[in-house]
């Protein structure tokens, strides 16, 4: 990135998103948003993730107007039920139990925003994930290996995912929290920014 390239800001406290952006070769700063995520089960999951990603981007853009802000939001959909981050251990156990042996979708929406000239780009990506059928002891063992509390659906594909995921169809980085193929294309095509 040249010196007169616009600065890139990752509006996220997620260590997973930070690692994905670093692995892709981007130079960026991290500014986690402080706003609460909207929880509205009456909204379509694509619209809900897109709304939350946009709200996060707008919050950070207020103080970084000339930078390109990248924000994202991830939710899990099982049938018509939306799973965000569990509020407590009991809910984390319930989520993993409900997903057990089932195929669900992971939706991540990302928002790219440069407030100074009104540029905005949004996209939502879905990945199908098939879980293995595990005993309650195996699910507990898995939760003992990770921290399920900051993860949509109470699991992490990148942390011992082989213990719970049978297969997936689509973007693996989307399941981790940021669909990197789509993010890279959008940054280059919409903002002229490359790693």
The enclosing domain of 13 has a CATH number of 3.90.950.10
**3 is a domain residue:** no
More confident residue, 134 or 3: 134
Which one of 36, 44, 47, 73 is the catalytic residue?
Answer: 73
pLDDT band at 6 (very low <50, low <70, confident <90, very high): low
**1 is a domain residue:** no
Contact 181, 20 (CB under 8 A): no
73 an active-site residue? yes
What pLDDT, on a 0 to 100 scale, did the predictor assign at position 1?
42
**2 is a domain residue:** no
**184 is a domain residue:** yes
pTM of the complete model: 0.91
**101 is a domain residue:** yes
pLDDT band at 35 (very low <50, low <70, confident <90, very high): confident
Alpha-carbon gap, residue 23 to 47, rounded angstroms = 28
Element (H, E) at 29: strand 29-30
Domain, as residue range, for 108: 8-191
- Number of domain units in the chain: 1
What pLDDT, on a 0 to 100 scale, did the predictor assign at position 41?
79
2 has a pLDDT exceeding 50 = no
What pLDDT, on a 0 to 100 scale, did the predictor assign at position 86?
95
Alpha-carbon gap, residue 77 to 65, rounded angstroms = 34
Segment 93-147, tens digit of pLDDT: 999 999 999 999 999 999 999 998 899 999 999 999 999 999 999 999 999 999 9
């Amino acid at each position: 990135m040249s010196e007169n390239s616009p600065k890139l800001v990752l509006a996220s406290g997620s260590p997973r998103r930070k690692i994905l952006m670093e692995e892709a070769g981007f130079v960026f700063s991290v500014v986690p948003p402080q706003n609460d995520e909207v929880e509205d089960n009456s909204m379509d999951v694509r619209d809900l993730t897109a709304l939350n990603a946009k709200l996060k981007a707008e919050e950070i853009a207020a103080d970084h107007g000339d930078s390109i802000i990248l924000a994202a939001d991830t939710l899990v959909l099982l049938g018509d039920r939306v799973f965000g981050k569990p509020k407590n251990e009991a809910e984390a156990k319930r989520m993993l139990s409900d997903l057990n042996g089932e195929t669900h979708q992971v939706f991540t929406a990302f928002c790219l925003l440069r407030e100074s000239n009104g540029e905005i780009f949004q996209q939502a990506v879905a990945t199908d994930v098939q879980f293995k059928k595990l005993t309650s002891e195996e699910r507990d063992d898995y939760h003992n290996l990770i921290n399920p509390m900051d993860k949509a659906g109470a699991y992490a594909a990148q942390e011992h995912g082989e213990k719970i995921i049978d297969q997936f169809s689509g973007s693996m980085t989307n399941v981790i929290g940021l669909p990197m193929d789509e993010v890279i294309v959008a940054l280059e095509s919409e903002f002229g920014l490359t790693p």
